[in-house]
Amino acid sequence: MMDRILKWGTSLLSLVLGACGMFTIPAAAYMGPPQPEKTLIGKVKNKLNLDEIEGIRLIFMYDNGAKATNFSKADGSYTAGYYNGIGKIKADDVDGLKNGAFHSAEIVTHFYNDDSRMTNLEILLDEDK
């Protein structure tokens, strides 16, 4: 009697566990092929005299909620890669008085696909006096 119950239970368990794998669908079918990364390129400049500003912290707030941080280089240039849109860019002067003091700025953006503005976005900051 016990052998019969064990065989029946094992068969039922095998059937249930075997059926679990029947309904899986690969994740690529939902997400599609990977998207190519796009690059946002620009410069941070003084609004008054258009001089490039080094050491400005840029926080890129993506549409999916993720954030990335970068700093402007000596020539004021910066880059940011992304797959989807960038919702906001926040610029903060975090190096003190090293190259002057500048007000923070928050820029709302709508960059998607191959927008021509992605290769020459100037962020202009007001000088703090």
In single-letter form, the type of residue at position 94 comes to: V
Helix (H, G, I), strand (E, B) or coil at 92: strand
Quickly state the pLDDT bin for 90 (edges 50, 70, 90). Answer: very high
pLDDT of residue 56: 92
99 vs 49, more confident:
49
DSSP character string of 36-86: PPEEEEEEEEETTT--B-SSEEEEEEETTS-EEEEE--TTSEEEEEESS-E
Question: Model confidence over 26-83: pLDDT tens digits?
Answer: 555 555 555 556 778 889 999 999 999 999 999 988 877 778 889 999 999 998 877 6
Which phi and psi angles does 118 have, rounded to 5°? -70, -15
Q: How far apart are CA 75 and CA 67, in angstroms?
A: 24
pLDDT of residue 33: 55
121 vs 22, more confident:
121
Domains located in the chain, CATH noted = 35-125 (2.60.40.10)
58 vs 113, more confident:
58
